[in-house]
Structure formats: C-alpha cells, structure tokens
Structure 1
C-alpha cells in the first residue's frame, strides 16, 4: 500500500514540475509585415513558413497585409513595434517609403529581418531573399539563345520603384548578347496579371516582338493572354519567359508545364529560411547579414517535377495543420486539468487514467512530428537530387544525340560506295531477276539516304544551323513534280491520287530542297495512313497575298486530343501501326516556319485529314539570313534538270580538263579516280598538303579541284583558302565533297572561296555534269564579262532598271574600289571586304547575287579587261602590262589570259 502511495506522490510531483516547466516556457511573437498577400508567390511563402513553424511549439506569428499601400504598411509596422514583438519581419512595398520605419524598429532593439525586397539602408539584422539580378541575367542569357539578330523584346516590369524589378531589369540587360542588335519595349505591369494584360493590349505594334520577358510569371501569363486576344497566330513564334516559378493554381510552374510559358526562373520564397533565421536570433545564435537564396532555370520537365513536389508539400502541410489542431485540442484539455489541482486530487483515479492517456497521446504526437520533420528533410534532399539528376539526364541525352549524328555522318561515306556503283549497274542490267533486285536495293538505299538526311536536318534545326537558299519558282509545276514521285506507290495501293490547282502557275519564293521535304513528308504520311482503295489529293490555291498547299486524305485520321502534339519532336500516337521516328512532322513544321509560313491540320477520324501550308507571296517575310539564288543561273539549284539524251552526250565525251581529286579515304579516292578518268585527266592527293604539292609541280595544269573536307594535315576548308589566296592558283575552281551537310559548313566553305558543294552520298554522273557545267559556265561568263566591260558597262545578272537602289549603290562602290586598286598585286578579297565594310561572306553573296561572279573571278576578269586595253595601245611589253594590271608574274598573267581568250597575249597581239 505504501508503495502505491509513493508512486502516486511521485506522479503528482512529476506532474507539478511539468506544469511549472510548461508555465515557465516562453512563447515568442514574430511580427510579419507583408507588402501584399493576394499573389500566388506570397501564398507559397506563407505555406513554406507554416511548414517550418510546425517544427516549433512556442512561436506565434502575427501577419499584416499592407495591400500594396505604403502608408498602411508603415502604420502596421508601428503597431507591431508597439506590441514589442520579439522579431520583426518586413517585406517592403517600396523601399523609399518603408526604410525610415524599418530603421526605427531596428534602432529600438527589435531584431529586424528584411525579406524578398530590400530597403535603402544597412540598419537591419539580416536579409533573406533571392538574387533578382542573377534571375534577370539568366533570363537575358537564355533569351539571347532564343532570338535571331536583330530582335525585339517586350519587357513587362514589376512596380518600377521596387528593388526586385530594378535588379531583374538590370540583370536582364547585362545578360543579353551584346553582339546582337536587340531592342526592348518596356511596359509597367506592377506585378499584376490584369495590369500587364491591359498594358500589352495598348501596344500598337507587336508582330515584330520575338520574345516577352516579364518580371514575374503572372504578368507573363497576362501578356500572353493579351497577345492571344489580339492575334493568336503570333503565339506560335513568340517566346515567353517569366520569373518566380511559384506553385499554385494558374501560377508559374503550371503555366510552364501546360506550355503557356516557354520558361521561368526559380525565385525561392525563402519562407522556411526566414523562420530559421528568426529562431537563431531568438536563441541568441549568430546570424549572417545576408542569406541569398539559390535560383535556377525552369523548363517544362523541371516544372513538372517541382509541381509534383509542391503538391506533396501542400499535402504534408494540411496534414501537419490537422495534427497541430488535434494537439492544441489535447493540450487545452490537459491545461484545464493542470490548473485544477483540487479536482485532480479529488478525482485521482480519473486523473491517473487520463494522465496515462495524455502521456500516450503526447508520445504518439511527438513521434509523428519527428516522422514529419524527417519526411520534410527527405523531400528536400530528393528535390535537390532530382535537380542534379535532371541536369545529368540532359547532358547524357545531348551526348547520345551527338554520337547518333556522328554515326549518321560516317554512314554517308560507305553509302556513297554502295549507291554510286548501284546506279551504274542499273544502267547496264538487262535480265529481269537481277534488275528487280537492283531496283529493290536502289529504293532501300534511297530510303536510307533520306532517313540519314532527315536526322541531319533535325540536328541542324536543333542547333539553329539550318538556313534557306531561296529562289523564285513556279510552285504549281514544282508541287506536281513532287507529286509524281508517289504515282507508282498510289498505283500499287490502288489509291485515287489527284493533283489540282486553281491557277496554271504561281511564282513563289522558296527553298527547293526544303519545300520538297515538306511536300514529300506530308504525302508520305498520307500514304502511310491511307488504306488501299482510299483517296489522296494535293491541291494548290493561290491569291495575291498567299499560296495555300493542301494535302488531304481519307485515312484513319487523328484524334482531336492528339492534334496539339503531332508537330512535337519524337511524338508518336502510341499505336502499333505507327512505327515512325516522330521527327518528320516536327521537321516539316520547322521548315515551314523558316519560310515565314504556317502549317495547320484538320482531321475527322476515319473521314478526312488535311494538312494546310499557307505561304505568303513576295519575299519580305523571309529571314534576313536567307541566301537568294541568282535568277536564270543553272548552278543555283541543287539539282540539274537535264534531258537524258543531253546527259548521255555530256558524259560520253572526253574533255581536255585536268581534275585533282583530294580525298583521304582510299576507296572513295580510287572509285572517283576510276569513274572520272573516263572523261578527264585525273590527279590524286590524300590530303591538302599533298594537293598543294601537286598543284605547284611544273607541268600539272590543274583545271579544277574536287576535295573532301575532313582530312588530316590540311582539311578541305584550309586547302580551299590556300588556293583562293594564292595569286598563281586563285583561278582554279574548287568543289567541296563531304558528308557534312549543315548550312554552317556550306557557308564556311563559300566564305573560303569554294565554287560549289556536293554532299555525300553522290551520283558520279551528277559529279561529272557538275564539273563540266561549272567549267563551261565560267568560260561563258568570262566572255560575257569581257564583252560588257569593253562596251563600258557593269556586268549584272538583271538589268540595271530591275535592281534595287541599294544594289546599284553597292556595285558602283565595288567597281569604283576596283578601278582605284586593281593595279596593286596585294589586293585581295579580304581587303576588298574591309574597304566595303562588310564581311567576306556578305561580299561573296552580294557580288554573286548581282553579277553572277565571285569577288575573286570579278577581280581577275576586271584586271584582264584592263590588260586588253593596254595591249591594244601597244605601248608596253607583255611583262609591263602584267605588272601594271596587278598580276603577280608574267607567267601567271599568260595563264589567266589563255584561260579567258584561248590564246596567249603574244598571239592576241599578232592577231590584232
């Protein structure tokens, strides 16, 4: 019995001490003055603060909402000062107005934490917030990669007097690529979605805007809604960037996931960090002056991950709040019992049972709180791991794509050695069995070539390396010729296949290669999903403003929910019948966009599917970096349309030309040498250095060089530059032969003076005709040049009356420069481009477009014309004429003269 009494007394003693301890436990009050509370970012901050507060049971938070009113915020802060809060947190509306009252609180000894926005003073305990300048800079750098040169950006400001808006603007300006000509149109959205929407609608011109950058996500969404209401077609090309990356309904993360925003930049709320810093201050622990939170770029995949995590955080917060409510209810019950000792004594047995119950509940709650804290920590670690893993996945994917593209390049060389002999065999095959097999092999080789080209086109599009080479052509006849490629397939599948046009012809500016791929992809898709005995139609509709190309079929069609995704890269519908790679329609859309055109799709499953491409007439809509083909130039097109009999007549002749083949691959070199030797005298070299030695050997009068690009010791680009900058060799045409098909390599080759570019795999007859026509065309143009110059004119492709004023000024300046400097033997294309204040590539393109000659050919022919004038006067010797017209030596002058006039200068004098 005594033991029981002692146990009961010990229990009450412990209970009494616990009551004293609980009563002595201090509760801290934290005052928080928010500039506003009605935006999703600050709601997210509130959630994070509540989650962190759940780790402590002795904190009371008083939150004041200033509703973006400076005077109201000052009044609320003064109320919190009068309450003598233990810690004061301030998120200032505007620094100029709030700084004095914040400093006053700090000087009165109240620990002051400045959150998110800054004040104009260092008199505060600590600052917690993101790096708005870094966010702006990341946005500027990201925007530079998305924009062409020049470009226009619409910048939607937050309230211009707030520190985040100022810093995000300055960071954005510093992050932009200074080498690009970028103009910025500013509007003030005041951090509000509706204000940003209204201000955007006031814009008079928005079609030239390439990107919208808003200081937060909701303003970016508002600006997008305004553009959508004004002209929804602008959204297809417009890039929209926000900032904050907050979670919640209709917030930044959700907008990035559903595609309304192209990206955002994480600006952490820091709600948990603010509470942690406040607790350190209350515990007397040292704190840093500034806590700058990390930021990161948010794309679609990152946003999906963060959105899932935010949903989990909200769920855990709700559960924590429920547990806290339960705990508060239990503690209230326990408090009544704790302060009623008389009742407890009188009801000892009840108290004993209830105390055991309370102890059990307390233990359970504590255990649950520990689990929740551990879970929160685990979630944070997982969040960081996911961010790191996401970066690694991106890097691995990029490496895979690079490897895949490199393998595609390598396949082109052996594919050449398969395709070219196969073409030759097909010409000579007579008996049906091998002929049938060869035709089947040829079809599959062509198919493999198309697949590789498609993959390389995809790489060019992804790396922004693809470029247009446009010319004015008849789209009706062009479309009809592409349509004919599928006639045999239509016949084999018994499909009714028709072509119609409302006009017999329609001139349009387009890139033949890319337009062929657009039409071929759309027709190929139509045949793929149209069953036997179905119908496929290709139609052309023309107006003064645009030309519409329609590919329509009555196949299986596309479900409505899948229509928005069919142009996404790597997208397939998941059905067993669809075995495509998912890049065909993506490439088609990209090629259409490059033409300044649009593509859309209409589909009723199992009834009708139509792809419509709308292309504006004229050429003002084309990108500035487009290359314009010379009109009526047979070499302007990548394909030569030559009659079969003429082709046979051309390749059956033996020509007095010496061709130097430069190729490091022995098999390709031997194969080319064997094939071309039927028509030309052939010399070979294994790399650029060997080629230079062959060119400089006495007696080797090389007429043309055909060279690979990727070679050891000296590559094809270096060889081409060496030839074109050498006074003795610059008249030799150079054709580059390579597996590298992207436009950057072509532009680089042209910049080094290359006369043509042939892509592997190639047809040897095509190579022969290229060589023959190139040499014949050079001779023809040379004679035309001499005739026009001797008549006192300027050689031009079009008549002077058809030229733009800017072109007339340009060519007149160029000719004037030649007149004053042609006699200098060190005058080169590089010096000419510097004098003209343009790049080497621009000079090449402009002179070629206006005159049909490269700058090197134009300079050489100009000198020859002047030499003829001097020879006719018979006042100077041939050597003196050579040096007076800028030639490096009489021997080189004689060589160039013979090439141009089929006679030496001496023979010319004797004849005249």
Structure 2
C-alpha cells in the first residue's frame, strides 16, 4: 500500500479492457440541394432516408441553397473545408456551380451530380433522369391528341437550367405534327409563378394543350385558365413532368384528373445513396446512372400512389424498428457502463477499507500525543481569555474614565466660559480685554479637546451619526480658514487659499467637516515654524472634490505615516504634544462621508493631507437625515434684530424658577444671573426639589441630570407622573452629550434639554420663550373653552388627515373616561395601542400640549361647562370632572385661568 495511486491506475486499465471496442465514427455524406420546397425534391429526400436506413454507418448532412447560386457555392465550400466523405450536388444553375463542383472533385472528395448537370466532366458520377427523353416521349404523346394547326402553351422551368432546355428540345423533336403554334411561358419551376405568367396571356380559347416542365407548373397553368373561364379546362389537355408522389404532387393530380398525364422523372434518391455506398466501399461505379421514364396516366397514377403509401408505411416501420434498436443499444451501453462503475466503486471501497485500517492505526498513535497537547493548549487558551477580558475591562475603564473626566470638566467650564463672556461683553474698553479674549480662546480650545474625547467615545460605541446638508465647499473651506487668520499673522506664516472652481455644492455634515478641517489646520500651525507657509487648495474631479492642506513644517517620518490615524498614536512628535485621537477622529469623520484622507510627507520639507469627498448624495447611507437647502435659514441674508434679545432680558417676569443643581458654584451662578428676570428657588438634588414643589408655586424647574440621591431624569419622571405637578415644565441641564441620553430625557417628559457649558443669555431666553408660549397657549385654550370647543391648540402647520383621526380618537377616549380619577397617561396609551413616548410626541406635536396637560385642560373645559350651568358646587364639579380633590382642582384652575373656580362663577 505504499503507492495506492499506481494500484488504482492498473486496476482501471484492467476494467477498461472489458468495456468493448468503441464504435467507428459514421461516414458523412453531404448533400447540397438547390432548393427543397417542392414536392419532387422532398420525395427525393424521403427516398434517400429510406435507403440510408439500411446502413448504420452513414450520416447525411443536407444544405438548402434556396435557389441562390451564391448560397450554394458557400455551402459547398464549407463541405470542402470539412472534408466530407462524399459530396452530392444538385446544381441551381450549371454554369455558376461548375467551378466549385470541379474544385471539390480535384481536392479528392467523391462528387455525385444529381438531377441537373454541370458544364464539366470532372465529377465522380451523375445520377438523374434523361430530360431529353422525357421531353421526346411527351411530344409523341401529345401528337396523338393534337389537331392540325394546334396551339401549345409550353411552361418552362428556367431558361438557363439544363433540365428545362433538354425537356423543351426533346418535346419539339417528339412532335409528329410540325405545323403547331407554341406559346412560351417561364414559370421558374414554381406553381405560383406559372399561374401568374399564364394568366397574363391574352387568349386561352386557341390553346389545345398545356405542356409544363414539371407537374406543379402544369397545375398553376390549369388554375389560371380555370379562374378566367372554367369551361375551357375540360377542352384543354394538361401534361406535366415528374409524377412525384406526395400531397399535391403530380401522381395525386393525375389520379384526381387534374392533369391528363405526367411523365415520370425519377428522383433517384435511393440510387444516389447506393452509388455513394459503392464509392465508400471502394467499389467500381459508372460515370452516369440514367433513370428510366414512363407515361403516367390516371390508372397508372392510382397504382403508383398505392405503392408509394405502402413504401412510406414500410419506411415508418423500419425507422421505428431502428429507434427501438437504438434504445436497446443505449440501455445495453448504460448497463455496461453501470457494471464498470459498480466494479470501480467496489475496488475503491476495498482500497479505502484497507487504507482506512492502515491510517486508523497511525491516527490512534497520534491521538494520544494530541490529547496531551490539547490539554496544554486548552489551559493556555483559558489563560489568554482571562487576559483578554482583563485587557478589555481595563480599556473600557480607561475610556469610561476619560468620558467621566470630560463630563466633570464641562461643569467647571460653565463657570469659566459664562463669566468670561459676560466680562468681554461688559468691558469692551478694558485693558484686560486681550487677556480675557485669550482666556476665552483657550477655554474654547479645552472644550474642543473634551468634545474630541466624547466624539471618540461615540464612534467607539457606534453612536455617531451625520446630519447631511448641501454646502458650497469652496466658501465653507474659506470660512473655516478665516478662524486661523489671526494666528497666521501672529506667527508671520504665509497663509494662502486657492481653488480651481469658484463654487461647488456637495452634501456633507457641516459640523463634522468643520472639525476635520479645523483639526488639520491646527496641526499645521502647531508644527510649522514662524515665517513658514501653509496653503489650502481645492481641486475638481469628475466625481470627486479634493481638498489639499500643505505646510512646510517638521513633517512626518515615513515609519509613522501608516500609523498616524491610529487612536492614541503620537509617533515621534515632541513630548506632551497631542493625545493621539485628533487624526483618528478626522479619518473616521471622513469615512462616515464615504470619502478618504491621504497623507504625503517629507520630513522638514513638506506635508500634504488630501481629503477626497464624493459629489452627489447617492453614496450616503439612508439612515442619515438630509437637510435640504430650502429648509435652512440663510442668516447671512437675514437682517437680525439684535435689540430683540436685549428687550427680553431687560424685563422682570412674574415667574418662579426652581434651580436644581448639586454643584454650589453652578447653583449660585445661575441664581445670580436669573435674579434680574425671575424669582428663584434652589435645591441640591431631586428629592429636595420634590419637597419644595409640594409647598411652593413654581413656574418652571431647571435641573441638572447627574445628582446624588435623585438624578434629573428621575425628578422629571416624578413630576410628569404626579397629577398635582405634571403641568410644570422641566428643562434639563447636563454635561452628557449622547443623543440617547437626550432622547431618554425628552421621553420622560422634559420640555427641553440643554448641554453644558451653556450661554446664560441663551438659557434665559429659552426659558422666557417657553413660559410665554405656555401662557399664550393657555390664553387660546381659555378662549376655546369659553366658546364651548374641544381644547386642541392648533399649530401653524396643517394637520394631516391621519393626525386628525388620531386626535379625534384621543378626544373620544377622553370624552368617555375623563370623569375617572384613575385615568392617566399610561392607561390612555394602553387604550390607544401606542407607547407612552409615542403618545407624548404625537399629542405634543399636534396640540402643543403634553398628554398630561391636555387631559388636565380637557377636564377643566368640562368643568367650565358645569360651572356655567350653576347647578353644582365647586366640589361637585371637581369630582364630576375627574379631579382627585377640590383643592387640586382649584390649583389647576387658577394656574390656567389666573382665578379660582369661585371667582370664575362670580364673574359670570
């Protein structure tokens, strides 16, 4: 068993010797037929197939020239190139086909000329009838019926074909009466053509006999005469040539009396095959095989038709027997090969059984060794798993540490940025203004670093998204570059911008792409010495835009280029410069745009960062929202009323704001800033805030999120789920930046969500607008109720029909359930079959009110109706409209209408 392949090969040779000798390839007999659409030539093919069925070693290939000399020449040439064993040619026109027929003969291919002759004797043999003799017999036969001075209509085949010329000459010589008039018509061997040509004769009355060179033309002439004068048909003698069997052929026409007689022109199909087999068997053959002819009249035609039918039936039986034999041979061949396959499989099974036994012994020996090694590998694997878990844990803790630090830094930054902005605004002429601006600049720089850490965390957790809008990238790049103009002047750096195109609109996330350009420009200024050069160039491509940033700073070593985009990689830069995440974020932001960033550098010579961005928006993922140009407000073309914010901030409002913040500095800062505009209360956490809300009349709660004992999310949920407090708006302040945190806060019922560090004026205006809007809604609501309407506060946007149906379903539910004191948002959402968050968003979007406020106001609208009737006391009205107590009813009533229920009734 040392060489199993050799064993199998020998065994295969032994089995192959039992499979028998392969059958010889059949001889190829090629037949170039001038046409095949007439019954005489179809009868020839039938006779050839009948005769060929007697032999099992020949294959007949037939080509139809369709009466085209050029086609027939090409077909014969193909047969010559294929080197067929025997070539049979029935020429279309003798002169045209003669050269190619001679060429085949000269190249050693046995050539048989059939039916029509060629203009050369260079062929193997000729098989066909004697057209001259047929014409002569036809002339003698016609003489017996013709009177003196008779008129004959002769329908020719084609003037140039040898059969037509010989049949005409023989007919003329066979006529015994010489004083006859002959009208010549050319039918081109076709029934339709003959009919058309005969019909163009001026007069048929003088015609005594029609002689056609084949039967179908005779039938065509008969039809033409019959259509003009059917009485003449019985007076005229119709003679044809061929007497071929088949549907509509000469024999059938004579038997049916359509032709008076036909003259047999044998097809010779069987004779052609016999001659071909003689040639293939190297037997002696004659130069010519002339087929006999005879007159076929009505009785003879009927006899011949019967014989032809019997012959066809006999041929069908032969072909069926041949098919049966072929089927049996195929079954025998299949069984023979199946036996060979079975023996081969048995041999393979035997071989593999022995081989498997041999291999199994070796495997058993190896298994023992592998079992020992497997135990060792498993122990090492478990150790690696433990180490990997520790590494992942440490990495996660490191990233979480950075995130937590970033969040912690955002809170003191609020206390830095807020006062700085205030001092810069209030002391424009101060000598310390430049220092204040420097402090503000570095505070902003620190904020960018923190934002980078937070963006890095989002990317690591796959929570970073894009907000796509169409931007002029040329103007956008110039605007970002303008941020560094003062720095370029201070360092005396040549700062240049160039663009191949004046403008180009592409789809990008402006915030992300601004961070990309800012980071690359910041690095360029960081590593470019005083007096250096930094340039930005925009190049246009067929489907891309290229932004190239080049500087002549210290450059990047070749070994560092492939790694500079790796996170936390700082390479060989000076100690303490960079955290190694700026370029990593830059690359990630570009990849999110389906673009790429390339770098090329020669140390101390130049460095080029090239950003490639695709044009259009088809490459952007569908999950990112697109902000269309018509949806954006062009602030550059809008006249901003800078006095409007000042007017809002100069007023004192009759609102009480509860500030919930665990950091005392932030708490004191907000309280001091809010004092000129609002009355304020403060609490250190959510629990303290809830206690204050139970005893104080608060207009709005401004709360931090991360607090001890009770965080801002929990406080918001408790407020919005408490029937006595749910009407109070809640604004959350937080250093958290994740969208999931914001969504969670809003889903708990928060009216707004603002990130730290914040602009104190923006925060105050936000609160003023929120409270004023609620006051406006309450006013419109009161007007709606006083008019007896349903309390839906419509927005300027048109409500779609689906929203109308939803609000109608919502209002119908309230109409039948508002008296139930247990009715709340959870039960309403359950009844409507949607989530609590979806219910909040839907009702808020359509009506401008939260579901809790809507339910409260709906009950109040019903209460005003009952109060107007003056049939019930205030307490009865409270319980009838679903309020838990008269005191809570009075509190809610006053918050909406600025009067107690008693005052409302008295007013009426």
TM-score of the two chains, using structure 2 as the length reference: 0.51
1:842 aligns with 2:838: yes
Q: Aligned to 1:277, which of 331, 355, 367?
A: 367
* 1:732 Cα deviation from its structure 2 partner: 0.9
1:663/1:669 contact within 8 Å kept: yes
2:781/2:791 contact within 8 Å kept: no
CA distance in 1, matches of 2:476, 2:713: 34
Structure 1 counterpart of 2:611: 611
CA distance in 2, matches of 1:893, 1:498: 69
CA distance in 2, matches of 1:821, 1:728: 19
Q: Aligned to 2:595, which of 596, 599, 602?
A: 599
CA distance in 1, matches of 2:620, 2:823: 36
* 1:904 Cα deviation from its structure 2 partner: 4.1
Q: Structure 1 538/858 Cα, relative in aligned 2: closer, same or farther at 3 Å?
A: farther
Structure 2 counterpart of 1:728: 724
Structure 2 counterpart of 1:79: 351
Q: Structure 1 819/521 Cα, relative in aligned 2: closer, same or farther at 3 Å?
A: farther
Write out aligned runs for 1:170-209 (5 A): none
* 1:686 Cα deviation from its structure 2 partner: 1.9
DSSP 3-state at the match of 2:692: helix
* 1:617 Cα deviation from its structure 2 partner: 6.0
Q: Aligned to 1:681, which of 679, 682, 701?
A: 679
Structure 1 counterpart of 2:439: 441
Q: Structure 1 825/73 Cα, relative in aligned 2: closer, same or farther at 3 Å?
A: farther
Cα displacement string for residues 299-356 of structure 1 (whole angstroms, at most 9, x for unaligned residues)? xxxxxxxxxxxxxxxxxxxxxxxxxxxxxxxxxxxxxxxxxxxxxxxxxxxxxxxxxx
Q: Structure 1 757/691 Cα, relative in aligned 2: closer, same or farther at 3 Å?
A: same
Q: Aligned to 2:404, which of 384, 403, 406?
A: 406
DSSP 3-state at the match of 2:357: coil
CA distance in 2, matches of 1:720, 1:897: 22
Write out aligned runs for 1:125-140 (5 A): none
* 1:658 Cα deviation from its structure 2 partner: 1.0
* 1:755 Cα deviation from its structure 2 partner: 1.5
CA distance in 1, matches of 2:499, 2:902: 62
* 1:436 Cα deviation from its structure 2 partner: 1.6
CA distance in 1, matches of 2:783, 2:855: 16
Write out aligned runs for 1:481-520 (5 A): 485-486=483-484, 488-489=486-487, 493=493, 495-496=495-496, 517=515, 520=518
Cα displacement string for residues 124-174 of structure 1 (whole angstroms, at most 9, x for unaligned residues)? xxxxxxxxxxxxxxxxxxxxxxxxxxxxxxxxxxxxxxxxxxxxxxxxxxx
* 1:688 Cα deviation from its structure 2 partner: 1.8
* 1:723 Cα deviation from its structure 2 partner: 0.9
DSSP 3-state at the match of 1:85: helix
* 1:593 Cα deviation from its structure 2 partner: 6.9
Cα displacement string for residues 825-877 of structure 1 (whole angstroms, at most 9, x for unaligned residues)? 33322233333433333333444445544333343344444444555555554
Q: Aligned to 1:654, which of 648, 652, 655?
A: 652
1:450 aligns with 2:540: no
Cα displacement string for residues 653-680 of structure 1 (whole angstroms, at most 9, x for unaligned residues)? 2221111122222332233222322322
Write out aligned runs for 1:229-628 (5 A): 276-277=366-367, 388-429=386-427, 432-466=430-464, 485-486=483-484, 488-489=486-487, 493=493, 495-496=495-496, 517=515, 520-521=518-519, 524=522, 534-536=534-536, 551-555=547-551, 568-571=566-569, 574=572, 579-588=577-586, 597-601=593-597, 606=606, 609-613=609-613, 621-623=621-623
CA distance in 2, matches of 1:400, 1:381: 29
1:560/1:603 contact within 8 Å kept: no
CA distance in 2, matches of 1:779, 1:633: 29
1:736/1:756 contact within 8 Å kept: yes
Structure 2 counterpart of 1:316: none
The structure that has the greater radius of gyration is: 2
Q: Aligned to 1:780, which of 772, 776, 789?
A: 776
CA distance in 2, matches of 1:70, 1:438: 97
DSSP 3-state at the match of 1:598: coil
CA distance in 1, matches of 2:536, 2:545: 13
CA distance in 1, matches of 2:646, 2:393: 52
Q: Structure 1 467/602 Cα, relative in aligned 2: closer, same or farther at 3 Å?
A: closer
CA distance in 2, matches of 1:881, 1:501: 73
Q: Structure 1 429/279 Cα, relative in aligned 2: closer, same or farther at 3 Å?
A: closer
* 1:695 Cα deviation from its structure 2 partner: 1.1
CA distance in 2, matches of 1:768, 1:501: 44
* 1:421 Cα deviation from its structure 2 partner: 2.6
CA distance in 2, matches of 1:620, 1:279: 56
* 1:703 Cα deviation from its structure 2 partner: 0.9
Gapped runs of 5+ residues in structure 1?
1-27, 33-68, 89-110, 114-273, 281-286, 295-376
Q: Structure 1 866/475 Cα, relative in aligned 2: closer, same or farther at 3 Å?
A: farther
Q: Structure 1 714/385 Cα, relative in aligned 2: closer, same or farther at 3 Å?
A: closer
Number of equivalent positions: 556
Structure 2 counterpart of 1:335: none
* 1:409 Cα deviation from its structure 2 partner: 2.1
DSSP 3-state at the match of 2:681: strand
Q: Structure 1 875/442 Cα, relative in aligned 2: closer, same or farther at 3 Å?
A: same
Q: CA RMSD in A?
A: 5.3
Cα displacement string for residues 617-644 of structure 1 (whole angstroms, at most 9, x for unaligned residues)? 69995539x8999x9999xx9xxx9854
CA distance in 1, matches of 2:776, 2:343: 84
Q: Structure 1 480/906 Cα, relative in aligned 2: closer, same or farther at 3 Å?
A: farther
Cα displacement string for residues 183-232 of structure 1 (whole angstroms, at most 9, x for unaligned residues)? xxxxxxxxxxxxxxxxxxxxxxxxxxxxxxxxxxxxxxxxxxxxxxxxxx
DSSP 3-state at the match of 2:698: coil
1:30/1:85 contact within 8 Å kept: no
DSSP 3-state at the match of 1:731: coil
Write out aligned runs for 1:47-62 (5 A): none
1:29/1:86 contact within 8 Å kept: no
1:706/1:735 contact within 8 Å kept: yes
CA distance in 1, matches of 2:345, 2:562: 47
TM-score of the two chains, using structure 1 as the length reference: 0.51
Structure 1 counterpart of 2:661: 663
Q: Aligned to 2:825, which of 822, 826, 829?
A: 829
Q: Structure 1 774/800 Cα, relative in aligned 2: closer, same or farther at 3 Å?
A: closer
Q: Structure 1 857/488 Cα, relative in aligned 2: closer, same or farther at 3 Å?
A: farther
2:782/2:897 contact within 8 Å kept: no
